[in-house]
Chains A and B, each alone.
Chain A
Amino acid sequence: DTGVSQDPRHKITKRGQNVTFRCDPISEHNRLYWYRQTLGQGPEFLTYFQNEAQLEKSRLLSDRFSAERPKGSFSTLEIQRTEQGDSAMYLCASSLDRTSGATPTGELFFGEGSRLTVL
């Protein structure tokens, strides 16, 4: 499978626990994005990386949230001290942007998401 993969697909946790999600992008893609989606809403941007550099963070990303992309490949999103309001689908996407080689289109490709339920 050469698409974006996310793990775990589902996570149920108790309030106050820490959780971590992993995203493996399409291998040649240089940009990686995290979004959050709640029921009936469109995805909301959280943060994105170009290679290993975190270029932008949304105001939605409180200090309990941290994301890394240490080697410019896979990324992790950690939520500390989870709250019930963190319950959502966490979506990862990747794209090939503004680089040499194949013509970049900036098209985003999403994974299947990681659904978090905080009890």
Chain B
Amino acid sequence: KQEVTQIPAALSVPEGENLVLNCSFTDSAIYNLQWFRQDPGKGLTSLLLIQSSQREQTSGRLNASLDKSSGRSTLYIAASQPGDSATYLCAVREDSGNTPLVFGKGTRLSVIA
């Protein structure tokens, strides 16, 4: 059974700092991996999708990498801003692509002005 772990559970950083959020998964045979952002009481916003054949994806100040063999992904946020404060969730879909996303519990990020 696929399990997704996110470390740390919570993180507080001063504005302007670069930071890395970690995600690990137990079964490396994945179809894709997706990073989401969730604001309190809201739904999930897709940030980046990495297909199994890709090593990284970039969008603005965000860069996500994928290392399937080690079962790891990282989300790099450059020059953090208070508006980046949210919970960041990592989720993987297993190899067939016909299975639902399995989520981690998320990392709660606070960026202090």
B49 CB to closest chain A CB (Å) equals 5
Asked, given contacts A42-B104, A45-B102, A98-B97, whether A106 binds B43 with beta carbons under 8 Å apart, the answer is no
Instruction: Tell me whether chain B's interface is mostly helix, strand or loop, or mixed.
Output: strand
A94 to B97, CA, bound (A): 14
Asked if residues B103 and A56 are in contact (CB atoms below 8 Å), the reply is no
A contacts, CB < 8 Å to B: 4, 6, 33, 40-45, 48, 55-56, 91, 93, 97-98, 105-113, 115
**Which residues from B are CB-within-8-Å of A108?**
34, 46, 91, 101
B97 touches A106 (CB 8 A): yes
Show the binding face of B for A, using Cβ within 8 Å: 4, 31-32, 34, 36, 41-46, 49, 51, 89, 91, 93, 97-106
Given A93-B44, A97-B97, A107-B46, 13 new contacts (CB under 8 A): A4-B43, A6-B43, A42-B89, A42-B105, A43-B89, A44-B103, A45-B102, A105-B49, A106-B49, A107-B34, A110-B43, A112-B42, A113-B42
Q: Which residues of A contact B44 (CB under 8 A)?
A: 43, 91, 93, 110
Chain A nearest CB, measured from B43 CB (Å): 4
A selection of 28 A-B contacts at a CB cut-off of 8 Å is A4-B43, A33-B101, A40-B105, A41-B105, A42-B4, A42-B89, A43-B89, A43-B101, A45-B100, A45-B102, A48-B100, A55-B98, A56-B99, A56-B100, A91-B43, A105-B49, A106-B32, A106-B51, A107-B49, A108-B34, A108-B46, A108-B91, A108-B101, A109-B46, A110-B45, A111-B43, A112-B42, A115-B41
CB-CB under 8 A from B103, the residues of chain A are 42-44
The residue in chain A whose Cβ has the minimal distance to the Cβ of B106 is A42
Closest B residue, CB atoms, query A41: B105
Closest 10 CB pairs of A and B: A42-B103, A110-B44, A112-B43, A45-B100, A107-B49, A110-B43, A113-B43, A42-B105, A43-B103, A111-B43
- The complex places the Cα of A6 from the Cα of B32 at a distance, in Å, of 26
